[in-house]
């Protein structure tokens, strides 16, 4: 039972990181109906931003501490939000009227660019991530929870609450929902589509950056290709929950993270990377539009 609870906590921590990445996929999909393959690499850039910001922040703030961690995370989120907006402006916006596949290939190009560019600029070898937050270990009855895991869960919950507030309670959020419901209609009602799309990319990329920092805190190493696998798994999570659906993405991330951790612990750790896909395929075969997705009615 202790083992079970232990793995559950590990799984939830990993799953919440996937959930944060998956939200970015699902938001962009909900609005532009295309898969942004570069999202996993924005996550990687977020982690690297943290890697380079930490020593600079340490110059004027005691590190490791909560405050320096907050400053680093905010800085990294701002950098990635800017990056996401830039990518959308220069790579995706010119293709908005083109077939969706053209935008998809462009996003793959951007993804390769960030990966290979990262290898050239940061170096291909993994780097140890500096200690950002003081780490404690809480043990009770054989159960050991690190403060990092609790922080990951807490930050994720906080970000989800903020996101929910933005999407449901603010005017911008209402515009986002209108846009995903009907782009032409939203434009006719005075929604500035370009601004809202930029905002969505910024928001999604900031969440990916936060996920990158949390990931690096939990598994303290960064390398330029670290975004590929979490990116694919998060994409699975987004589809699993029903792509375009925000609670679905969070739920999908938690499910995939937990199931993967359990399989790695109890069955075989070498099959770890196949689990996300296997879960996804099983669920899609039973419920083709994802767990919380709406069924598209095909009109003639």
Site for other proteins, rule CB under 8 A: 29, 35, 91, 94-95, 98-99, 101-103, 105-106, 108-113, 116-117, 120, 228, 232, 235-236, 239, 243, 268, 270-271, 273-274, 276-278, 280-281, 284-285, 288-290, 298, 300
131/287 with CB nearer other proteins = 287
Query: Hey, what are 258's tokens?
Result: 């937990």
Query: Hey, what are 40's tokens?
Result: 């996993």
Query: Hey, what are 255's tokens?
Result: 């499910």
* Smallest distance from other proteins to CB 111, Å: 8
Separation of first and last alpha carbons in the chain: 54
33/169 with CB nearer other proteins = 33
4/90 with CB nearer other proteins = 90
130/224 with CB nearer other proteins = 224
174/228 with CB nearer other proteins = 228
Q: Is 138 helix (H, G, I), strand (E, B) or coil?
A: strand
State how far the Cα of 297 lies from the Cα of 195, in Å rounded to an integer. 30
Residue 189 DSSP label: T
* Smallest distance from other proteins to CB 192, Å: 23
The b-or-e profile of 38-67 (16+ CB within 10 A means b, else e) is bbbbbbbbbbbbbbbbbeebbeeeebbeee
* Smallest distance from other proteins to CB 119, Å: 8
68/180 with CB nearer other proteins = 180
161/267 with CB nearer other proteins = 267
Torsional sign, CA 191, 192, 197, 199:
negative
* Smallest distance from other proteins to CB 21, Å: 14
> Which phi and psi angles does 231 have, rounded to 5°?
-65, -45
* Smallest distance from other proteins to CB 206, Å: 23
10/111 with CB nearer other proteins = 111
Query: Hey, what are 233's tokens?
Result: 């798994």
State how far the Cα of 176 lies from the Cα of 186, in Å rounded to an integer. 9
| Number of other residues whose CB lies within 10 A of the CB of residue 28 | 27
Distances (CA, A) of 206 to 76, 136, 152: 8, 27, 16
* Smallest distance from other proteins to CB 273, Å: 5
* Smallest distance from other proteins to CB 5, Å: 28
**26 contacts 240 by C-beta, under 8 angstroms:** no
Q: Which ranges of the chain does DSSP label H, i.e. alpha helix? A: 2-32, 39-58, 66-87, 100-122, 147-169, 171-181, 183-188, 193-218, 228-240, 246-266, 272-286
* Smallest distance from other proteins to CB 136, Å: 36
């Amino acid at each position: 039972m202790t083992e079970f609870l232990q793995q559950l906590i590990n799984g939830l921590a990993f799953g919440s990181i996937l959930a944060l990445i998956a939200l970015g996929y699902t938001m962009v999909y909900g609005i532009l109906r295309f898969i942004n393959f570069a999202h996993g690499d924005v996550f990687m850039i977020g982690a690297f931003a943290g890697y380079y910001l930490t020593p600079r922040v340490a110059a004027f703030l005691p590190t490791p501490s909560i405050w320096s961690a907050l400053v680093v995370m905010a800085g990294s989120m701002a950098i990635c939000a800017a990056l996401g907006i830039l990518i959308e402006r220069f790579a995706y916006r010119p293709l908005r009227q083109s077939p969706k596949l053209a935008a998809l290939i462009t996003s793959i190009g951007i993804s390769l660019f960030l990966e290979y560019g990262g290898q050239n600029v940061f170096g291909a070898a993994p780097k140890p991530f500096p200690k950002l937050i003081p780490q404690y270990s809480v043990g009770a009855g054989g159960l050991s929870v690190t403060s990092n895991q609790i922080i990951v869960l807490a930050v994720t919950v906080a970000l989800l609450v903020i996101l929910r507030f933005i999407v449901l309670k603010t005017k911008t959020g209402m515009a986002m929902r209108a846009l995903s419901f009907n782009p032409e209609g939203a434009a006719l009602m005075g929604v500035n589509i370009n601004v809202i799309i930029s905002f969505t990319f910024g928001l999604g990329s900031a969440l990916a950056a936060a996920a990158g920092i949390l990931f690096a805190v939990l598994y303290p190493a960064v390398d330029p290709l670290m975004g590929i696998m979490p990116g694919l798994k998060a994409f699975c999570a987004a589809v699993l929950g029903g792509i375009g659906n925000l609670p679905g993405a969070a739920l999908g991330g938690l499910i995939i993270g937990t199931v993967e951790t359990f399989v790695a612990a109890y069955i075989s750790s070498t099959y770890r990377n196949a689990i996300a896909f296997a879960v996804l395929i099983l669920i899609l075969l039973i419920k083709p539009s994802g767990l919380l997705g709406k069924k598209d009615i095909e009109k003639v």
